[in-house]
Structure 1
Amino acid sequence: MIKGIIFDLDGTLVDSLVDLADSMNRVLKNKNYPTHSLAEYQYFIGNGIRNLVREALPEAAQDEVVITQCFEAMMEDYTQHCLDKTRPYPGIIELLEQVNHKEIKCAVLSNKVDDLTKKIVRELFPKQRFEEVIGTRFDIPRKPNPEGALLISDSLQIPTSELLFVGDTGVDMKVAQNAQIRSVGVTWGYRTREELVEHGAQHLISDPSELLQLLNGEYQMRVVEIKGNEREDAFQIRREVFVEEQRVPLQDEFDEYDEPGAPARHILVEYENKAAATGRVRWVGDTAKLERICVRASLRKYGLGSVVVQALEKIAQEEGFHKAKIHAQTQAQSFYNKLGYVQVSEEFMEDGIPHIVMERKL
């Protein structure tokens, strides 16, 4: 169950593009450098204001002395104008009110300097509750380093497995991956859907209300390790998906690792009190092998496949394993890429279906 959400700020909670662009363009104009369009600034934003300054300067002017001078001028101007036109995106206030009502803890982690991050959140969200608001500080590396996200996890006393990270850039998706937090990419911000997917977004949403739908789904979901009657529920899902849909022979689908007492651990995901997804993990040398991962056809839009993988990875970590392996169907490669898995083999056939071996460090 999700108990906390870490939000990016610029491009996720607030549209700050015009104020950032206006301030930087005033600095450039005063230095007789070319200015830039809003479309260009969309790709300068996301790695902190100093990096924005570096990107905005002509290549010939990108030495550290000039960058520092322009950064100081930018900070002076932007500090005075950071709230001129910056506003929450439509639907964000309502989203935060609902999240607060659910008693889900909220935090902000931004690559914007810390005092301005706090100022914008304080002024634009006076009635919304944030447990932590952290921007760039000398003692915390910038995203995608996971240290800030892990600090928030510790401060909220919520394990990373029960957090979401919501952001609009590849940097946000990478920090979530590095901290082993489920990632939600928002497409109303400054970067493309393709960038979010390329950097591992596990969920994509195009409107703040869709995050509520995701959370509502979480509140109707339960992950259990299989015991007793749950075993038959899990096996029925596998029969539906692998045997009936994909035509895997029944005798090939079930093996000795499905027997009680076998050296494998199975999980079942229930959604709205119904058996929805399953998977198992067993040990092959120093590697945890994730297998038999499947979701009922009618429930494949709720991100339950990611839930199964993460639950199995958590079991593997508890058992002391630091590497996971999957024989992934080739058609599912992009799904596993989003979860941090990389291809380590050529394509091969298994049960008449093209597969590849994929691995990731835990």
Structure 2
Amino acid sequence: MKKLVIFDLDGTLINTIADLAGATNYALKACGYPLHDTDAYRFFVGNGINKLFERALPESERSEENIRKIRSLFIPYYNMHNADLSRPYPGITHVLESLQAEGVSLAVASNKYQEATEKLIKHYFPQIGFIRIFGQRENVPVKPAPDVVFEIMQAAGAQPEETAYIGDSGVDMQTGINAKVETIGAAWGFRPRTELEAYHPAFIADTPEALLDYLIG
């Protein structure tokens, strides 16, 4: 069993796609840009919110100025509405509780901005004593840079071979590879299983229950 298990947030712990889509569409509409179906956002997210806005904007409108404008509208709206439709994936709370009961250190490493990451984790998992809850922070490279994983491992006193990183996207798989930790795909998330398979992770879990079986055995 691992000493430390680090989870991605969006698409891994919580299905946040409807609220992310709603807030981005709100900002796009306010600026007169076309909107997108909720399902399209599954492929827009994963690299931080600025990249989300860039992908959501029309190709000819993807300037730094327009990204900043969308961001200025998105953040206050999303801060108020980020738990409207978002919910933990069925079975994921049991996974966290079971790992915690086994003495495994738990942490979150997300590319979502820090304020929203903390709010969602504390709202939906108040009973879980995560050693670190990290979102996108100033001067810390976003995933797939491994910096956030290294920071969490240092806090936990865990070596790479004692650590597992779990996420639902290619960005997450590359993060685990870059950090040289055991990398596990969450196939219930936003991206297709084939995207995870391309990175040859140690394991791909189709359900949270399968993840728990793999981690605890």
Q: Deviations over 1:113-162 (max 9, x none)?
A: 01110111011111112111000011311000011101100000011111
Contact 1:46 1:111 in 2 (8 A): yes
Residue 130 (str. 1) matches residue 115 (str. 2): no
Q: Which structure's relative contact order is higher, taking Cα pairs within 8 Å and 6+ residues apart? A: 2
CA–CA distance in structure 2, aligned partners of residues 139 and 59 of structure 1: 28
How far did 1:92 drift? 0.8
Number of the residue aligned with 2:145: 145
Contact 1:113 1:137 in 2 (8 A): yes
SS of 1:46 mapped into structure 2: coil
Number of the residue aligned with 2:12: 12
How far did 1:57 drift? 0.4
CA–CA distance in structure 2, aligned partners of residues 170 and 201 of structure 1: 10
CA–CA distance in structure 1, aligned partners of residues 187 and 162 of structure 2: 23
CA–CA distance in structure 1, aligned partners of residues 98 and 146 of structure 2: 27
Residue 61 (str. 1) matches residue 61 (str. 2): yes
TM-score when scaled to structure 1? 0.59
| Paired amino acid for 2:186 | V
- Unpaired segments ≥5 residues, structure 2: none
Number of the residue aligned with 1:212: 212
| Paired amino acid for 1:208 | P
TM-score when scaled to structure 2? 0.98
| Paired amino acid for 1:119 | K
How far did 1:185 drift? 0.2
- The structure 1 segments of at least 4 consecutive aligned residues displaced by more than 6 Å after TM superposition are none
Number of equivalent positions: 217
Q: Deviations over 1:147-200 (max 9, x none)?
A: 110110000001111111010000000010000011110111000111111123
SS of 1:5 mapped into structure 2: strand
CA–CA distance in structure 2, aligned partners of residues 200 and 115 of structure 1: 32
| Paired amino acid for 1:147 | D
Q: Deviations over 1:57-99 (max 9, x none)?
A: 0011111111111111111211111111111000011111101
Number of the residue aligned with 1:42: 42
CA–CA distance in structure 2, aligned partners of residues 138 and 101 of structure 1: 33
Number of the residue aligned with 1:118: 118
- Unpaired segments ≥5 residues, structure 1: 218-362
SS of 2:43 mapped into structure 1: coil
Give percent identity, aligned residues only: 37
Number of the residue aligned with 2:184: 184
How far did 1:212 drift? 1.6
Residue 193 (str. 1) matches residue 193 (str. 2): yes
CA–CA distance in structure 2, aligned partners of residues 119 and 73 of structure 1: 19
How far did 1:216 drift? 2.5
Q: Deviations over 1:217-275 (max 9, x none)?
A: 3xxxxxxxxxxxxxxxxxxxxxxxxxxxxxxxxxxxxxxxxxxxxxxxxxxxxxxxxxx
CA–CA distance in structure 1, aligned partners of residues 216 and 114 of structure 2: 32
How far did 1:201 drift? 1.8
CA–CA distance in structure 2, aligned partners of residues 201 and 170 of structure 1: 10
| Paired amino acid for 1:91 | G
CA–CA distance in structure 2, aligned partners of residues 36 and 20 of structure 1: 11
